[in-house]
Structure 1
Amino acid sequence: MSSQRKTRTFEKRMSEVLGIRPDEVESVFRGARPTSIRVNRLLDDERYRETVEFVRDKAPGLIPVDWCEHAFLWPDNDGFDDILPLAHEGRVYLQNAASLIPPVALDAQPGDAVLDIASAPGGKAFHIAARVGNDCELWLNDSAPPRARKLAELAELYGVRYAELTTHNAQYIDKSVPAERFDRILLDVQCSGEGRVNLRKSDALRYWSEERIEKYKFLQAKMCDAAYKLLKPGGTLVYSTCTLSPEEDEFPVNKVLQRHSDLAVEPLGFSEEEFLPGLNSWRGAKFDKRLKHAVRVMPSDVFEGFFVAKVTKAAS
């Protein structure tokens, strides 16, 4: 497929998904995506206060994220060269604000057994640990051993305590881990990455195709089913992607809802103007109406495109 034709196909798809005109897609996917700063609350109190004071001094334009403690939007990236070394010291974590959503939605509690099925590079797992002050039984998993080794290094840097670090394939993890083992599971899956597309770059869609989306959706559905088997009754599963196509977002969650009648979809409990409700249909396919509680994040000057669904299993 030619580059021009691929761009038209992408724009048509995104206009349908996001409910905008095709001519608006280009501007939505050409905007800057500033990072956000999350100050590491696993630091001791004095070092935490020093870090907050430092970043506020170097980046006076920081805006607190009202639904995420210790996190700030960084619209202009002022002071980047001064603040970047703090990330190398484990004092701050830099990421797009959309990546703050899944750990907040998961809402792990002290004492919970928590599994992050696709952990690397670690930002979401470290956020989970910080939210409960390391007071959880945190299992990290990533199927690639080199990524897992780097994950272990970064966990030490950020002061994160974990119970296990494994390298199981996500779609088969239920074959290696005891059933109904976890109170909370985060499944942030490999995807086509549409939320990070920047059409200002000439090769922005180099690896994107509708065929690739079709391939991912079945893999993601298998991962959801494996995660279900590891979730305790009364537990919470958060499914997230950095993509926007319903095949990779609603479809896998819809599949696991169809298979298991003891699941419910819960509202996230917080919102932004970029948060769109999940779809109930897509190109002839019908989805469970409860997926309206899922959130598709519109790309903006704050957020990369993202999708998050919070699913709970009925207590026994």
Structure 2
Amino acid sequence: MIEIDDAYGLPCEFVGRLRAVFGERAEEVLRTFGETRRPGAWANPLRSDDADPLVLMAEVGVEGRRCEWLPEAATIESADKSKVTESAIAADGRLYVQNLSSMLAPLVLDPQPGETVLDLAAAPGGKTLHLAARMRLEGELAAVEPVRDRFFKLRQNLERCGAGEFVRTFTHDGRDVGRKTPERFDAVLLDAPCSSEARFDPQHPGTFAYWGPRKLAESARKQKALLRSALDATRPGGRVLYCTCSFAPEENELVVAHTLRRLAGVVEIEPIDLSIGDSQMAGLTAWQGKRLPDVIAETVRIVPDDRLAGFYLAMLRKID
């Protein structure tokens, strides 16, 4: 039986862990779980030569606020979300609704036209679509999703949004990809399956009904295997962006530290440069009495607010 914190409607243990992770910013973070976040939307250049999110939103009578660090994205009022998602501009793929935090991953990985790129846990396909657009449909982009229903959702989204013919999709277990395609890719995105702590909702206890130490340990084992596979699939000199929507250090900094230790001399951390102000903080270099390599501070935690969901990003480069 999970004990619930009366003030926040979240598991007491989870609340305590967030206080340990965020320190003096913890109450600020905890309050976001009871607030409505502004949905984000991205103007898809694969479906429009002059893609401007504010112009597209105006077509359906919605006023948006442009994202200052990603001009092709904007946020809307939560009450207006259905006006966008149920509109023609969403149905034909011109506008893709997605939280701004998710848009950070393709921005940071920054795939270039002509590169060979892999999205290792791709469904439902929003980030894959961003990758394809950044590559201008030039080069090679593969997307892997092992769960059958999610795989078909991935395919549908890519086809609807203009990347269906460009992206090669596979239903393999991502943990086997590195063995099957060693040193194949210039860049790999691994938005790893996780405990989804950033999506916990006090109004819907089912979102955290199965959360606990066992779930975190189970997720971390899978994440370590996926990250190793991603790095095995990456050519020397190539890069892997590891990210999750979890706050748990066991799924974030500890996974990266484990990988650095196992692949010492093969992999290094590359700093991530974002322009999102106070919405970010450095990765933790200590957790529950365990000291982590100082370089883990070069990874990034996204601090949730009224626009951004909690997120973690780490860039690893394979030494040439």
Q: State the TM-score, normalizing by the size of structure 2.
A: 0.90
What CA deviation, in whole Å up to 9, does each residue of 1:73-118 have, x standing for no partner?
22x2464343222222211110111101110010001100000000
Q: Secondary structure at the match of 2:269?
A: strand
The 5 Å alignment of 1:290-305 reads 290-305=295-310
Q: What is the aligned-residue identity percentage?
A: 30
Q: Choose the corresponding residue for 2:284, options 270, 274, 279.
A: 279
Q: Which amino acid aligns with 2:314?
A: A
Distance 1:202 1:244 in 2: 18
Distance 2:132 2:157 in 1: 13
2:253 is matched with which residue? Answer: 250
2:2 is matched with which residue? Answer: 2
Distance 1:202 1:145 in 2: 27
Is the 8 Å Cα contact of residues 184 and 234 (structure 2) preserved in structure 1? yes
Distance 1:24 1:184 in 2: 35
Q: Secondary structure at the match of 1:264?
A: strand
1:63 is matched with which residue? Answer: 65
Q: Secondary structure at the match of 2:281?
A: strand
Is the 8 Å Cα contact of residues 299 and 315 (structure 2) preserved in structure 1? yes
1:105 is matched with which residue? Answer: 108
Q: Which amino acid aligns with 1:55?
A: M
Does 2:12 correspond to 1:11?
no
User: 1:179 Cα deviation (Å)?
Assistant: 0.8
Q: Secondary structure at the match of 1:228?
A: helix
1:159 is matched with which residue? Answer: 162
Does 2:24 correspond to 1:20?
yes
1:144 is matched with which residue? Answer: 147
Is the 8 Å Cα contact of residues 59 and 77 (structure 1) preserved in structure 2? no
Between 98-107 and 129-138, the greater mean CA deviation after superposition: 129-138
Q: Which amino acid aligns with 1:276?
A: M
What CA deviation, in whole Å up to 9, does each residue of 1:149-182 have, x standing for no partner?
2211221111114352111112222232x21100
Q: Which amino acid aligns with 1:149?
A: F
The 5 Å alignment of 1:40-79 reads 40-45=44-49, 48=51, 52-56=54-58, 58-60=61-63, 62-74=64-76, 76-77=77-78, 79=80
Is the 8 Å Cα contact of residues 36 and 95 (structure 1) preserved in structure 2? yes
Between 282-291 and 26-35, the greater mean CA deviation after superposition: 26-35
Any stretches of 5+ residues in structure 1 without a counterpart? none
Between 222-231 and 147-156, the greater mean CA deviation after superposition: 147-156
1:30 is matched with which residue? Answer: 34
Distance 1:306 1:215 in 2: 19
Is the 8 Å Cα contact of residues 54 and 65 (structure 2) preserved in structure 1? no
1:39 is matched with which residue? Answer: 43
Does 2:268 correspond to 1:267?
no
User: 1:264 Cα deviation (Å)?
Assistant: 2.1
What CA deviation, in whole Å up to 9, does each residue of 1:235-268 have, x standing for no partner?
1100010111000001111111112223222222
1:210 is matched with which residue? Answer: 213
Q: Secondary structure at the match of 1:312?
A: strand
Is the 8 Å Cα contact of residues 59 and 78 (structure 1) preserved in structure 2? no
Is the 8 Å Cα contact of residues 26 and 199 (structure 1) preserved in structure 2? no
Between 198-207 and 297-306, the greater mean CA deviation after superposition: 198-207
Is the 8 Å Cα contact of residues 39 and 81 (structure 2) preserved in structure 1? no
Q: Secondary structure at the match of 2:251?
A: coil
Q: Secondary structure at the match of 1:19?
A: helix
Q: 1:22 to 1:7 in 2, by over 3 A?
A: farther
Does 2:83 correspond to 1:82?
yes
RMSD: 2.0
Q: Secondary structure at the match of 1:45?
A: coil
User: 1:131 Cα deviation (Å)?
Assistant: 1.5
Q: 1:134 to 1:14 in 2, by over 3 A?
A: same
Q: Which amino acid aligns with 1:4?
A: I
Distance 2:313 2:25 in 1: 24
Is the 8 Å Cα contact of residues 236 and 319 (structure 2) preserved in structure 1? yes
User: 1:21 Cα deviation (Å)?
Assistant: 7.0
Q: 1:36 to 1:287 in 2, by over 3 A?
A: same
Paired positions, count: 310
1:96 is matched with which residue? Answer: 99
User: 1:298 Cα deviation (Å)?
Assistant: 1.5
Q: Secondary structure at the match of 1:20?
A: helix
Q: Which amino acid aligns with 2:256?
A: V
Q: Secondary structure at the match of 1:191?
A: coil
Q: Runs (4+) of structure 1 moved beyond 3 Å?
A: 20-26, 77-82, 200-204
Does 2:274 correspond to 1:237?
no
User: 1:22 Cα deviation (Å)?
Assistant: 6.5
